[in-house]
Amino acid sequence: MERKVMPNDSTPVEKLSQLAQEAQSFFEHVRGEPTNAWRLSEWTWGRLSREQQAIAERLGHDLRQQMALLVPAVQNAPLLDKRDLARFSRLGRTMDAALRFQSFRTRREADPRASRVFQRAYDEIRRLLELVPLQGSFELSMVDRPANRLGRNHRNAKFPVKKQSVK
C-alpha cells in the first residue's frame, strides 16, 4: 500500500479527506489478504502483519493530529455547540478505533465491518464540518489555515478569538 504525500499548504480538512481515502485503501488491502481482515475484533487485529499494524497506527496518529487541528474551528463555529464538539471528538475516536479493528466504547456496532464504521463516522464529521464557516466573522477560518503554520507542538498557534459585544 502506497502512502500519498499531501502538499504542506493543504488544509486540515483536505488532509483529513486524504487520510480517509488512505484508510479505505488500507481496509480494502487487508480484506484482500489471506487474513481477510474486515471484522471489528481483537482477533482480526492479531491476524494483521506488523507492517499492516504499523500502517494502521500511522493512519490513526495522522487522523488524531488533523482532528486536533480542526477542534478550534469547531469550537468557534457559530452554528455548533458543545454537544457538536463532543460528537466530533467521539466520531474521531470511532474512526481511530476502527483502524485498529476495535469498537469505540463497548457498544455493539450494527455493522461489524471496520471499513463501514470508519466511513460512517467520517461522513458524519464531514456533515459537521459543513457548518464551520469558511469566511465571515473569522479573520481566517481555522479550516482554511494550512496545517504546517502551527509550528512544532502547536506552541506557535494563533487562533482567532470570537469577540462578542455587550450591549
What is the per-residue pLDDT for 88? 95
Q: Is residue 137 part of a domain?
A: no
Residue range 16-66, pLDDT digits in tens: 999 999 999 999 888 887 666 777 778 888 888 999 999 999 999 999 999
Q: What is the mean pLDDT of the chain?
A: 78
Residue range 53-107, pLDDT digits in tens: 999 999 999 999 999 999 999 999 999 999 999 999 999 999 999 999 888 764 5
Q: Is residue 43 part of a domain?
A: yes
Q: How many domains does the chain have?
A: 1
Q: Is residue 146 part of a domain?
A: no
Q: Is residue 7 part of a domain?
A: no
**Best CA proximity match to 55, nearest among 84, 80, 24:** 24
Which residues face 39 on adjacent strands? Answer: 113
What is the per-residue pLDDT for 161? 52
d(CA 162, CA 4): 35
Q: Is residue 84 part of a domain?
A: yes
Q: Could you tell me the residue range of the domain that residue 63 belongs to? A: 12-132
pTM of the entire structure? 0.70
Phi, psi of 49 (to 5 degrees): -70, 165
Q: Is residue 117 part of a domain?
A: yes
